[in-house]
Structure 1
Amino acid sequence: MRAFVLTGPGAYAVQEVPVPVPGRGEAVVEVERVGVCGTDMEFFTGAMAYLHQGHSSYPMRLGHEWCGRVARVGEDVDPAWVGLRVMGDTMLGCGACRRCSRGHQHVCETRQEVGIRGGRSGALAEQLAVPVSSLHVLPDSVDAALGSLVEPGGNALRAAQAAAPGSGDRVMVLGPGAIGLLTALFLRAAGAEVHLMGVTDASLAFARTMGFEHTWTEHTVPDLPFDAVIDASNAAHLPGLALELVEPGGRLVCIGLAGEPSRIDTRTLALKDVTAVGILSASPGLEATIRAYADGVVDPRPLIAATVGLDQVGEVLAGGRPFDCGPGPKIHVDPRLS
């Protein structure tokens, strides 16, 4: 089968690789759609921390935001899985440690991450092998576009829930990228007044096309009380700004990751009685995200700018935009396209 293989920083090829064989407890999925993520771009540049910590190494097959149809299953798997449309959890815990036993497999010390960590191949290929325990069935109303947005949506849903907005609460989201906009959609669905802060006119203009009227740059943020502030950016200084902006007694949520350490003044955190929450992984939010998409509570399809084939992935990872793509921040890949 064809697969996109990253062989080193900036080095890649679409290769013919062996078709995966499902192991015990595994399913092989025919991949329908894959989202390209900022994490994938960090692996492309060589900046991703896992490369330097020994959790990942080249060559590797990227792709952790995906959906598809089960083609075959291994031993100890119910054959009824065959033919079902599914998406999969990125985080694969060991299943035996204290964290896994408490339902926190997404922070298991020895976890694999599909397309990211521990040598587990990702979905930028025609087929993918994963544990059946990681799969979530997609209803007919969740098409391929939505199915491959479940994983980032689960992260965003958890960030929105961590902000704990009440109806009419005012929430600021720092960073109008894919995660920031998905978070904003879930916040709006919860009844919050959503504000977005960004850098470029284009990103803020796109946010307004999605119905978010309150868009700002760092220098134009109004003097308003924000009941929660969510940092969905990659700027090291913005968690500090988030703490300045949030109301006393409010909530500070960090889901963005900067390339260098971020610092906040814990004296301010304590004196303002702010609750600070970090979010890693969509795992606990996947089922709720599927339901939200299926019921039309949120519709993230406008985020998708284009869908390309495997041969165009390298250009996308290098920061290129496909010809005639839309204004959204998300590029999808259909491995079946030539």
Structure 2
Amino acid sequence: MRAFVLTGPGQAEVRDVPAPVAGPGEVVVDVERVGVCGTDVEFFTGEMAYLHQGVSSYPMRLGHEWCGRVAAVGPGVDPACIGRRVTGDTMVGDGTCRRCRRGHQHVCENLREVGIRDGLPGALAEQLAVPVRSLHPLPTSVDAVRGALVEPGGNAWRAARATQAGPDDRVLVLGPGTIGLLVAAFLQAAGAEVHLLGRDADSLAFAAGLGFAVSDTVPDGPWDAIVDASNAAHLPALALARVEPAGRLVYIGLAGAPSPIDTRALVLGDVTAVGILSASPGLAATIDAYADRVVDPRPLVAATVGLDDVAAVLAGTRPAGAGPGPKFHVDPRRRG
């Protein structure tokens, strides 16, 4: 099969590699659609921390936002799975450690991550092998575009829910990228008044076109909750300074440098701060939200390309004819 292989910083190629074989408890999926995300870009540039921690290494196969159809099953897997449209959890726990037993498999002591850590090749390929226990079925109303947006949507759903915001609440979202826009969409669906803060004029114009209030400077409060979906090291402290007393801070963005906050302000403001790592606990709810049209993530996708164009996208090139959205998708079956 054809697969996109990252061989070093800024170096990649599409290779013919052996097709995966489903082992015990696994399935092989024919991949329909894959999302490219910021983590993939960090692997492409060589900046991803996992590379320097020895958790990930080149050559590697990226792709953790995906959907497809089950093509084969391994020993111990019900053959009725074949033909089922699915997406899958990026985070795969061992199922036996204390964290897994307590329902927190996404922070498993022996965590594996599809397309991120060594050992589980990603979905930027024609086929993918994953544990059957990581799968989530997709209803017919969730097409390939929505299906490949379930993983980022799960992160955003969790962040929006962590604000506990609803009608009469005002929420500021820092960062109008894919996650920030999806967080805003889930918050808006919950009835909250949402504002997006960013610096890039084109990103803000796109967000405004989706119906969100936007600004390039911090708007006047009060802010009952603030979600930091940016990669700016100074914004976590700004969020703490601007949130209402007894409000909530949700941190889902990661900066390349430490982001200090003054815990005295946290305590004296009686502020709740929540960190969101993974989509895992939010995948099922996101699928339901997409299926019921509570949130429609499709406008975020600027273009869909084939495997041969992935390196250019990771390098920051926007394909000809791309729309204004922040997300790019890949159809591994597309040639040329």
TM-score where L is the length of structure 2: 0.99
**Which residue of 300, 312, 315 corresponds with 2:312?**
315
Aligned to 2:172: 172
Matched, 1:283 2:280: yes
Aligned to 2:112: 112
Deviations 1:244-264 (A, max 9, x none): 110000000000000111011
Contact kept? 2:166, 2:187, Cα under 8 Å: no
* Over 6 Å off, 4+ runs: none
- 1:221, CA displacement in angstroms? 2.1
AA aligned opposite 2:27: A
Query: 1: distance between equivalents of 2:188 and 2:123?
Result: 31
Aligned to 1:294: 291
Aligned to 1:123: 123
Aligned to 1:26: 26
Sequence identity (%): 74
**Which residue of 248, 252, 256 corresponds with 1:251?**
248
Deviations 1:79-133 (A, max 9, x none): 0000000000000001110001001010012111000013210000000000000
Contact kept? 2:176, 2:203, Cα under 8 Å: yes
Q: Unaligned stretches of 5+ in structure 2?
A: none
Cα-Cα RMSD: 0.6
- 1:224, CA displacement in angstroms? 1.5
SS in 2 for 1:331: strand
AA aligned opposite 1:89: D
**Which residue of 215, 219, 223 corresponds with 1:222?**
219
SS in 2 for 1:202: helix
Aligned to 2:77: 77
SS in 2 for 1:315: helix
Query: 2: distance between equivalents of 1:316 and 1:166?
Result: 37
Tell me the matched-pair count.
335
Contact kept? 2:302, 2:323, Cα under 8 Å: yes
AA aligned opposite 2:26: E
Matched, 1:203 2:203: yes
Matched, 1:190 2:190: yes
AA aligned opposite 1:216: S
AA aligned opposite 2:189: A
Written as runs of structure 1 = structure 2, the 5 A alignment for 1:77-156 is 77-156=77-156
Contact kept? 2:159, 2:250, Cα under 8 Å: yes
Query: 2: distance between equivalents of 1:178 and 1:200?
Result: 14
Query: 1: distance between equivalents of 2:219 and 2:147?
Result: 37
SS in 2 for 1:100: helix
Aligned to 2:157: 157
Deviations 1:7-28 (A, max 9, x none): 1111111000000000000000
